[in-house]
Amino acid sequence: TIVLGIESSCDETAVAIVKNRKEVLSSVVASQIDVHKEFGGVVPEVASRIHVENISMVIDQALKKAGCTMEEIDAVAVTQGPGLVGCLHIGLQAAKTMAWTFHKPLVAVHHIAGHIFANEMVSDLQYPLLALVVSGGHTELVYLKDENSFEVLGETQDDAIGEAFDKVARVMGLPYPGGPQIDRLAKEGNNVYALAKPKTENPMDFSFSGLKSSVLQFQARCARRQENFVPADLACSFQETALEALLSRVTYALDHVSGIRHFVVAGGVAANSRLRTLITETIAPNYPQIRFTIPPLSCCTDNAAMIAIAGTIAYQHGRRSSFDIGAQPGMPLESE
Ligand code: ATP
Ligand code: MG
Ligand code: FE
């Protein structure tokens, strides 16, 4: 099965062609980071306009790199949601056009299902599976009884973890996107500043806005008292506090949800080097009966290979989307 995937939910225009779920024939990502950097974040109106400018060229490149013609493609997969409505529309319109013109089935997928199935590139997924989704817009623990069912066990009550990384970086004067900057800076610092530890009622829910405010207050207090602080130490303290809270929920889930055979990490924050180390070195060894997978760095953040894989799985389960579907900016995962 060869599937062409299209992703445009946020600020990357991406198209990929994947064969039999695993073989990435091509994966082209046109990132808009340089444009949005000037504004310190994604400007939705600007993002949609750049998607329009780039999409045809990116589709073309993906087909050329794969050495593939549209005749060889079995289905066109596309992100229907969640994401920025104007951005989603561009990908959806392009996907419908390709599918219509070349008489191919259209398969709409959920962006987060894509992040989760990015792990197929490096591992045969075993079920029941537990996924830790950590991205710019999501922080959740998702249980998959099989590859066709999603149950959200816990989620953030306020900010997503990637959003918290980005906001903390922004107030520290680091460029957008801030996650990789904090990751880099934290390596040079120590966890010495006491920050607010996230608390939640449900042991599998998350919360990051209190921690974020605590970083802002710390900075404001230092400024008021004209005290210096070490930026690397602040980055490290924030990252350690955030990851400790994140991983305590993971441990709880691994201890309390029975029958899990595979644990995967998904989403842009899975690129965080400290998170990767903590999971492989301090968590995985305690659960020898569970397989642990973290996607390769290149497919943690938004790409279309993950959408093509999620599309292949949905296609193999018989999903065919109608041509009158619209973008779903708040699409629930459990509807997948
Ligand atoms: P969503 O997937 O929830 O719709 P999104 O698509 O905008 O959101 P992703 O592309 O999955 O998000 O991930 C981007 C996020 O990952 C940003 O918040 C970015 O700062 C964060 N990120 C990327 N690399 C790292 C890193 N090394 N450490 C921490 N955060 C990182
Ligand atoms: Mg992005
Ligand atoms: Fe994403």
From 208, 243, 301, mutation site for ligand 1 pocket: most ligand atoms within 8 A of C-beta: 301
Token pair 């490149």 is at which residue? 61
The pLDDT assigned to 41 comes to 83
Geometric angle at alpha carbon 312, from 67 and 19, rounded to 5° = 30
What separation in Å is there between the alpha carbon of 331 and the centre of ligand 3? 13
ipTM for this model:
0.98
Which residue, by CA, sits nearest to atom 13 of ligand 1?
268
What separation in Å is there between the alpha carbon of 47 and the centre of ligand 1? 16
The pLDDT assigned to 107 comes to 98
For the chain (336 residues), the mean pLDDT of every run of 10, in chain order, is 98 97 97 84 90 97 98 98 98 98 98 98 97 98 97 98 96 94 98 96 97 96 95 98 98 98 98 98 98 94 98 98 97 88
137 CB within 6 A, ligand 1: yes
Of 303, 237, 294, which Cα lies nearest the Cα of 270?
294
**Is 166 labelled a binding residue?**
yes
> Can you give the pTM of this predicted structure?
0.96
The residue type at 70 = M
| Cα(78)–Cα(94) distance, integer angstroms | 9
What separation in Å is there between the alpha carbon of 137 and the centre of ligand 2? 10
The pLDDT assigned to 33 comes to 83
| Cα(194)–Cα(229) distance, integer angstroms | 13
- Residue 215's contacts (CB-CB under 8 Å, 6 or more residues apart) are 168, 171, 195, 234, 238
The pLDDT assigned to 32 comes to 86
**Is 205 labelled a binding residue?**
no
**Number of the ligand closest to the Cα of 135:** 1
